[in-house]
Structures are given as structure tokens and as C-alpha cells.
């Protein structure tokens, strides 16, 4: 307790993966906090550089470039991520698919005015989707058909949050909070022993909080239909696409999950969105704690969240 009383909060914000992120670390002095934060942030940036689609030098670009050609050698970290993605694919019964990124060519969320793709277009793209077809093992990976792509966007950020937390711990930080664009991972409690208070953003009112969760040594992740979307004829089409159909899901406005790791929380949240009406069954089956807000505004969940001082 005496050590914690002397500790101060150091807050760091930085930009990566086209978003703003923040890191709060409690340390007895600035030097220690700076060193820990610098290392953690460096690793987040490293992960971004390694798995982003937007850089030719990334592992993802190397794999995608060789689609339909030679196999590409991969390291232990990439293998671990692939294994994890494989598990998500199985758990989601195919809804989540690391190769479904090509569908973005049909669903352009930046286009004005927005345009719905035709069935023919989606069908054509779906021929290039199919995680079970990917050839991979502990040493290398090969996409069997030209035009196939891997997209780590669905798991990269959460993994980076867990890595950042681990690095902070390695540097002796025992009270910390990492928030990578809404995916939160905390270490320990707040220095006064209280749990960290994480607010769940209201899916339709960005400046409001719809619920509060208290977390110790865990993670909170939220997946929502408001991150990237367009609306046509009063219907919302969001960026979460069911890889089996090539079309967006539309049952929940958002799903927030509390778990031990950000990677887990993030995947459960994304998968829950993809499961649509079956999300509660899926999440209960996983023993996950969640809060889901349906498109009509009703809430479902089993998360111990609070709305105020009660």
C-alpha cells in the first residue's frame, strides 16, 4: 500500500491503426513509467507494421502477394495468431474467416452515395473466401488461389492490447490500463484497490455511456455496428460480414464482453455480433460475461454492470 500511495498516474496517448489509443500506467516515478510505456507502445506499433495490409513490408502483404504461388515462411508469433483465428473460425461455424477481407471490395463504406452490391458480385468474391482451404503449418503458409487475402484486422488490435499489458507488467507496472481504440485491458486494480471503471459507449450517442463495468486484471472489448457502416433505405449495413453469406449482420447495435484477455474479449464480441440472434446461446456456452444491445435498443446480458452509484 505505501508503494501505491506514492505512485502517480502517467497517461500516454498515441495514434496507430488509424485510431487513437491511450495507456495509463501507475509508477513511483516518471522514468519507470516512460520506459514501460515506450516499450509497450513500440510493440503495438511493431504489431501494426507486421500485420497491416497497408504496407508492402508486412507479413500480411507478403502472404497475399504470393497467393496462388509459393508458400511464405512465417514465425512463431504469426503461427500462434493463425491458430487462434482457426479456433475462431471453428467456434463461429464459419462466420468468422481470416480470408473474408476480400469482401470489402463489394462493401465500400466510404462511397458516397453508398451502394449495395449485387448477388453476382458477392458470389464472385465468395469464391476467394475460405479459411479451410488455406494451407498452413508451423513453418509456412500458402493461399491456394490468386486473389485470396488474409486480413488480421479482426484480431490484431486485441492481441496488441494484451501484448502491451504484458510488457508493462514486465517493466514492473502493477496498476495500468491500456485502451486501444475501445479495446481495454487492465492490470491489477486502481492503486487505491478499487476496480477499474470502464464505461460502455452508447452505440448511437457517441458522447454517452450506456453502462459501467468494473474490472480487475481483465479486459473489456466492444464490437458494434457503428464503427463502419452505411445506410440505404433506412437499413444499416455495417462492416461485420458473415463470411458464409458475404453480407453484414444486423441484429445487435453492440456487444461488449468482459474476459481475462483482450484477445478473448474481442473475439467473443465480434463472434457474438456475427451470431446475431444466436449470440446469447453462443456466449453462454463460452461462459462469457457480456452486454448486448439490440437494434431496437433493448439490452441483453449477464454482465455485472451498473448504471450509476447503486
Partner 1 sequence: MRLPLKAGAAAPDGEAATDPPRISERSAALIAAALALPGILPSHAHAQTAPDEGVVALRYLDYRDWQPGARRMTVRNPSLYALVPLGSSFAVEGSVIYDAMSGASPLYHDTLSGASGLGVTDYRTAGDARLTKYIDGNALAFGVAGSYERDYKSRAASFEWRRASADRNTTFAVGVAATRDSIDSANGVARNQHRETYDFLLGVTQVLSSDSLVESSLTWSDGRGYYSDPYKLLDTRPDRRRIFAWLTRYNRYLPGPDATLRVAYRYLDDSFGDRSHMVEASWVQTLPRGFTLTPTLRYYTQGAANFYRDPPFPEGSVQGEPYTADTRLSAYGAITAGMRLAKSFPGGVTADVAFTFYRQRAGWRAGGGGSSGLLEFSARWIEFGLEKRF
Please, how many CA atoms are within 13 Å of residue 94, restricted to the half-sphere of its CB? Answer: 9
Candidate list 208, 245, 281, 295; residue touching partner 1; CB under 8 A: 208
- Can you tell me the distance from the alpha carbon of 130 to that of 100, in angstroms, rounded to the nearest whole number? 7
Candidate list 168, 221, 279, 292; residue touching partner 1; CB under 8 A: 221
Q: Would you say 265 and 258 are in contact if contact means Cβ atoms under 8 Å apart?
A: yes
- Count of all residues that appear for the chain in the document: 310
Is residue 223 within the footprint of partner 1 (CB under 8 A)?
yes
Shortest Å, Cβ 190 to partner 1 = 7
With contacts defined by CB under 8 A, name the span among 33-41, 43-51, 114-122, 208-216 that binds partner 1: 208-216
Cβ proximity to partner 1: between 102 and 184 the closer is 184
Cβ proximity to partner 1: between 79 and 300 the closer is 300
Candidate list 141, 220, 264, 293; residue touching partner 1; CB under 8 A: 220
Is residue 201 within the footprint of partner 1 (CB under 8 A)?
yes
Q: How many CB atoms lie within 10 A of CB 133?
A: 12
- Can you tell me the distance from the alpha carbon of 171 to that of 255, in angstroms, rounded to the nearest whole number? 33
Angle at Cα 259 formed by Cα 51 and Cα 226, nearest 5°?
A: 60
Is residue 250 within the footprint of partner 1 (CB under 8 A)?
no
Q: How many CB atoms lie within 10 A of CB 62?
A: 14
Question: Contact positions toward partner 1, by CB under 8 A?
Answer: 5, 9, 13, 19-22, 24, 177, 179-184, 190, 196-201, 203, 206-209, 212-213, 220-227, 254, 256, 307-309
Amino acid at each position: 500500500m505505501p508503494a501505491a500511495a506514492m505512485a502517480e498516474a502517467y497517461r500516454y496517448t498515441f495514434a496507430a491503426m488509424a485510431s487513437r489509443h491511450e495507456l495509463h500506467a501507475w509508477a513511483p516515478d516518471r522514468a519507470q513509467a516512460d520506459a514501460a510505456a515506450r516499450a509497450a507502445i513500440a510493440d503495438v506499433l511493431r504489431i501494426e507494421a507486421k500485420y497491416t495490409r497497408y504496407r508492402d513490408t508486412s507479413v500480411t502483404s507478403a502472404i497475399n502477394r504470393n497467393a496462388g504461388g509459393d508458400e511464405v515462411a512465417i514465425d512463431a508469433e504469426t503461427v500462434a495468431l493463425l491458430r487462434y483465428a482457426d479456433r475462431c473460425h471453428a467456434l463461429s461455424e464459419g462466420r468468422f474467416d481470416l480470408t473474408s477481407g476480400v469482401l470489402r471490395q463489394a462493401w465500400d463504406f466510404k462511397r458516397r452515395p453508398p451502394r449495395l452490391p449485387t448477388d453476382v458480385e458477392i458470389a464472385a468474391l465468395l469464391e476467394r473466401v475460405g479459411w479451410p482451404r488455406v494451407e498452413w503449418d508451423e513453418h509456412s503458409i500458402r493461399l491456394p488461389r490468386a486473389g485470396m487475402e488474409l486480413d488480421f484486422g479482426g484480431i490484431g488490435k486485441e492481441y496488441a492490447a494484451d501484448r502491451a499489458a504484458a510488457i508493462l507488467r514486465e517493466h514492473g507496472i502493477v496498476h495500468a490500463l491500456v485502451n486501444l481504440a475501445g479495446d481495454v485491458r487492465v492490470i491489477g486494480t486502481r492503486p487505491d484497490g478499487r476496480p477499474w471503471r470502464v464505461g460502455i459507449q452508447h452505440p448511437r450517442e457517441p458522447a454517452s455511456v450506456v453502462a459501467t463495468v468494473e474490472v480487475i486484471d481483465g479486459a473489456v472489448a466492444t464490437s458494434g455496428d457503428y464503427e463502419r457502416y452505411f445506410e440505404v433505405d433506412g437499413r444499416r449495413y455495417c462492416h461485420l460480414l458473415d463470411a458464409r453469406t458475404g453480407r453484414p449482420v444486423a441484429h445487435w447495435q453492440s456487444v461488449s464482453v468482459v474476459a481475462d484477455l483482450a484477445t478473448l474479449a474481442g473475439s467473443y464480441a465480434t463472434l457474438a455480433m456475427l451470431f446475431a440472434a444466436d449470440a446469447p446461446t453462443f456466449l453462454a456456452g463460452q461462459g462469457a460475461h457480456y452486454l448486448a444491445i439490440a437494434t431496437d435498443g433493448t439490452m441483453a446480458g449477464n454482465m455485472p454492470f451498473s448504471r450509476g452509484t447503486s
